[in-house]
Amino acid sequence: MKTLSLKQPWAELILQGKKKIEIRKWNTHFRGQFLIHASGNIDEDAMKKHNLKDLPRQAIVGKATLKEVKHYENEEEFNKDKNKHLATYGWGSYGFVLEGVERVKPVMGVKGSLGFWEYGKT
């Protein structure tokens, strides 16, 4: 199944429903359900800002549906959705709009990859 890796706490904030748009520097034509993977990397500043600790890493932690991709042409457009993506201008100009987010029992020990990647393919 298609999978997207995110640093913690961003994966957790999506699962909590606080982050509804994932910002990326790249676009995708993919639409549909995918797995949320918490990578081995942590955004320490964001962990402190959101008062989160001890989150699963290198694990499949949830699933979501990519409904649409927004392309932010400028900072003003980007900032209109700030409460949905929680990001700072300059992180990227593509907003992956998520819906149907569900937490799953973590599948630990899963290394991630860049972009959308296939999990569970033999």
CATH, domain range 2-110: 2.30.130.30
Do residues 1 and 30 make contact, with C-beta atoms less than 8 angstroms apart? no
Taking the domains of the chain in order of start, what are their residue ranges? 2-110
CB-facing half-sphere around the CA of 115: CA atoms within 13 A: 7
Prediction pTM value: 0.95
Whole-number Å distance between alpha carbons of 3 and 104: 14
Whole-number Å distance between alpha carbons of 33 and 15: 14
Instruction: Encode the chain (122 residues) as per-residue pLDDT tens digits.
Output: 999 999 999 999 999 999 999 999 999 999 999 999 999 999 999 999 999 999 999 999 999 999 999 999 999 999 999 999 999 999 999 999 999 999 999 999 999 999 999 998 64
Using CB atoms within 10 Å of the CB of residue 121, give its burial: 0 to 12 exposed, 13 to 18 middle, 19+ buried. Answer: exposed
Whole-number Å distance between alpha carbons of 4 and 114: 8
